[in-house]
Amino acid sequence: MWFLFTIPLLLGDLVIAQEAAFNVPITPDDLDTGRPGAGFLTYSIEFATFPDYAGNLSSPNEFSHNLMNNVAELSGKKMYIRVGGNTQDMYTYNSSLDVALRGDYNLNRSRDYPTDNMQIGPSFFEAYKTWPGYTFSHGLNMGGNKHPNAWISLLETAEAACTLIGANAIEVWEYGNEPNGFPNSGQYSVRGPDFREERYVQEWLNGTQAVQEVVERHCPDMAGDAFHGWTAPSLINIQIMTRPQYADNPNRIVLNFTEVWAQGQNKTANVVQYGLHNYIDNALGPVTLAGTLLNHTRMRLAADYVLDLYKEVNTDLPLILSEHNSVALQGAPGLSNTFGAALWTIDMNLYAASRGIYRSHMHTGTNYRYQPWQPVETDRVAKGTKAPYYGQVAVAAFIGNNSETAVDVAHIPLAWNGNDNPWEVAYAAYVEDRLARIMLINMRESNYTHQRLNETASYDADRPLREFRLDIDLDDGTEVVVKRLRANGSDAITGITFDGWSYNYEVDNGKPVRLDNVTTGESIMITNRTLFVQLLDSEAVILDLQHVGSSSDREDPPVEATAARFLTQPLALMLGIVVLWAV
Ligand SMILES: *[C@@H]1O[C@H](CO)[C@@H](O)[C@H](O)[C@H]1NC(C)=O
Ligand SMILES: *[C@@H]1O[C@H](CO)[C@@H](O)[C@H](O)[C@H]1NC(C)=O
Ligand SMILES: *[C@@H]1O[C@H](CO)[C@@H](O)[C@H](O)[C@H]1NC(C)=O
Ligand SMILES: *[C@@H]1O[C@H](CO)[C@@H](O)[C@H](O)[C@H]1NC(C)=O
Ligand SMILES: *[C@@H]1O[C@H](CO)[C@@H](O)[C@H](O)[C@H]1NC(C)=O
Ligand SMILES: *[C@@H]1O[C@H](CO)[C@@H](O)[C@H](O)[C@H]1NC(C)=O
Ligand SMILES: *[C@@H]1O[C@H](CO)[C@@H](O)[C@H](O)[C@H]1NC(C)=O
Ligand SMILES: *[C@@H]1O[C@H](CO)[C@@H](O)[C@H](O)[C@H]1NC(C)=O
Ligand SMILES: *[C@@H]1O[C@H](CO)[C@@H](O)[C@H](O)[C@H]1NC(C)=O
Ligand SMILES: *[C@@H]1O[C@H](CO)[C@@H](O)[C@H](O)[C@H]1NC(C)=O
Ligand SMILES: *[C@@H]1O[C@H](CO)[C@@H](O)[C@H](O)[C@H]1NC(C)=O
Ligand SMILES: *[C@@H]1O[C@H](CO)[C@@H](O)[C@H](O)[C@H]1NC(C)=O
């Protein structure tokens, strides 16, 4: 019989020291802990592709719905989803349009979405009804896209949104996407050089006030105190704007987040969440899988940068990554769509959680490189579940159901003799102050394609295993449940499983299916208060200490001892030896 085992290990009692290459003892003070909000891992869906993702009432997108439900099931909450992005500042509302959305592509502006003459009609709002129980923000157009009717359209959209989405499905409102880009888009700039902090906030206050008046008039159930509030400022991480395509522009306008806030964006007292957008770099590079995404040091630089900006703003509202993903400009092929990006997704999101970030909206759009799934078939990308989704599931599984019971996440720094360690990564999850789960990530690149091309090498032998040793205060004989996130290598884009589960479209339309050709049910026995676990290069593992068993209490036949399989595999390298112990 399996039973719930309580670990006599309290938060603050975990001490980490490192052996071999690792020799720096780490005290509990080194652990950053944060408490993610319920529904922490969620989505931001590109405005123009929301009808693809959600469908409409007569033809709902069940595949998307299934994938969302998987995450909701793990996290215990149907999430709040943001509908917005670059295209939210490009549309006008047309009450007689008989399709959800229409627009023209202008390849000079983007090949990823329509940018010109974009209109939405009333049926756009049907999409919000296809995923009952989820809540949304509908991105309102602030930029205007140089459209003469932008202001009238804003007021009409507000009326349509409040009446057609309804109070129950609206979480918050958002006005404008990344306004700090408005004056910086060359010939497509929608504001001039006078669009500084003061001007932006003035416009924002004017527009949001007008929208609230419309909502008050047409949707009395959202009037006054019942108004759901705003997410703001939706600015993009300034660091991204120092990248090549912006830096080349000597007239670049950089809005200072602290000054934006100080200008009185909170004057209406209706900003309920402080949302920033973050990408760790952008697709124009130089970016590589090993150097950028599979690089814990690089991830921390980018995350700490946005955390520092937030700290400087000095607001008491929680920080939300309201649009977030690997590299900006919809991701880079061979990076953002790979299994390596799934490992980055875990690292980035758990680090964010450990630093107190309240929620993370992973951005997606039809045909995007960093998309977790492609909702419809197009001539560019096949409909299906993509590699990053598996990392998102692992994040949701690791944090677990925190809808009613708080979960704290700690980042466990595994520095090598004081130097940054870009490859071995560890996090701990505490439920009611008890250590419940440990996430280990081996971020070393393992290029499957490259190895396969090398006919002299056996694939398995070429992919090193690294052993992590954890000294842990559990009785000898305790079996810790192991859940692995695996693929053939960091460059894999298919064949990914989490704990033996597939969420692939072609398997069962995104519903979880336990594959019978993947090893599952692995557990590792504690001996001498020590747990050894081995990870292939480019692999992540969750050690579940909440649902442990004991070898003496097991009635069911012992699951095939898969741990043994790993132990007998040749160890190409033995590195990353980590010692955790309780004092
Ligand atoms: C999450 O946990 C709460 C509280 O224990 C429980 O009521 C709820 O059913 C759980 N949700 C899921 C989806 O398991
Ligand atoms: C609105 O959509 C209808 C139906 O497609 C079209 O006839 C009309 O011209 C559109 N209005 C504007 C202002 O573009
Ligand atoms: C609903 O979606 C289907 C499939 O995409 C489409 O054919 C139909 O026109 C849509 N209905 C509306 C009202 O947009
Ligand atoms: C795209 O740019 C080219 C070259 O600058 C120009 O000739 C063309 O008209 C532009 N297309 C659109 C749709 O603006
Ligand atoms: C708000 O913006 C609208 C549209 O640009 C403009 O007509 C109006 O005068 C503005 N109000 C204030 C107080 O700035
Ligand atoms: C933003 O402005 C504040 C003063 O209001 C200044 O202290 C801070 O350094 C500026 N931040 C950045 C990132 O430039
Ligand atoms: C926003 O204003 C409200 C009401 O004055 C206040 O309670 C809240 O702390 C303010 N938030 C920030 C981040 O300043
Ligand atoms: C990882 O990122 C850091 C910080 O950007 C950088 O100094 C280092 O060279 C990167 N490592 C690799 C292997 O590219
Ligand atoms: C993986 O190896 C293949 C074959 O050598 C190469 O084409 C590809 O660029 C490599 N991928 C990465 C991310 O380095
Ligand atoms: C091919 O594999 C062999 C055996 O692992 C290794 O010695 C050799 O360096 C590899 N060649 C390339 C091009 O990676
Ligand atoms: C395992 O099963 C899945 C689903 O049937 C299949 O797509 C996959 O190719 C199989 N993997 C292996 C290694 O046979
Ligand atoms: C258990 O650990 C202790 C302390 O590290 C060591 O001295 C002893 O040899 C270990 N016993 C076994 C059976 O590994």
pLDDT exceeds cutoff 80 at 434: no
Q: Is 105 close to ligand 4, i.e. is its CB under 6 Å away?
A: no
**Pocket flag, ligand 2, residue 94 (CB < 6 Å):** yes
Structure confidence at residue 478 as a pLDDT band (50, 70, 90): confident
Name the least confident of 95-109, 264-278, 487-501: 264-278
Strand 424-431, strand 407-412: pairing: antiparallel
pLDDT score, position 454 = 75
Closest CA to 532 of 473, 475, 579, 573: 579
User: Could you give the CA distance from residue 64 to residue 69 in angstroms, rounded to a whole number?
Assistant: 9
Atom of ligand 1 nearest to the CA of 73: 13
Best substitution site from 507, 515, 519 to test ligand 11's pocket, by max atoms within 8 Å of Cβ?
A: 515
197 is catalytic: yes
Cα separation, 503 vs 510, whole angstroms: 5
- For residue 454, the ligand 10 atom closest to its alpha carbon is 1
Distance CA 89, CA 47 (A): 9
pLDDT number for residue 236? 94
pLDDT of 51 > 60? The answer is yes
Helices first, then strands: H and E counts in the chain: 13, 27
- CA 346-487-364 angle, 5° bins: 50
Residue whose Cα lies nearest atom 14 of ligand 1: it is 76
pLDDT on residue 25: 42
- Compare 257 and 3 and report the one with higher pLDDT: 257
pLDDT over 90 at 432, yes or no: no
Q: Which ligand has the minimum distance to the alpha carbon of residue 492?
A: 9
CA–CA gap between residue 342 and residue 464 (Å, rounded) = 19
DSSP 12-66: T-EEEEE-TT----B-GGG-EEE-PPTT-EEEEEEGGGHHHHHB-SSSB-HHHHH
DSSP 154: H
Angle at 360 between CA 357 and CA 366, to 5 degrees: 160
Residue 136 clears pLDDT 50, i.e. is over it: yes
- Would you state the pLDDT for residue 244? 57
Give residue 121's pLDDT: 98
Greater model confidence, 435 or 192: 192
Among 200-214, 355-369, 390-404, 447-461, whose mean pLDDT is lowest?
Answer: 447-461
* Closest atom, ligand 5, to C-alpha of 210: 1
Q: How does residue 310 score in pLDDT terms, banded at 50, 70 and 90?
A: very high
Confirm whether pTM is higher than 0.75: yes
Query: Tell me, what's the pLDDT at 497?
Result: 97
- Contact 266/329 with Cβ under 8 angstroms? no
Distance 554 CA to ligand 9 centre (A): 45
Judge if the beta carbon of residue 96 lies within 6 A of ligand 2: yes
> What is the predicted pLDDT for the residue at 534?
85
Locate the ligand 5 atom nearest the alpha carbon of residue 151 and give its number.
4
d(CA 401, ligand 1 centre) in Å: 6
pLDDT, the chain, mean: 86
Longest Cα–Cα distance of the chain, Å, equals 75
Please tell me the predicted confidence (pLDDT) of residue 474.
Answer: 72
Q: Do the bridges between strand 578-582 and strand 14-18 make them parallel or antiparallel, or are there none, so unpaired? A: antiparallel
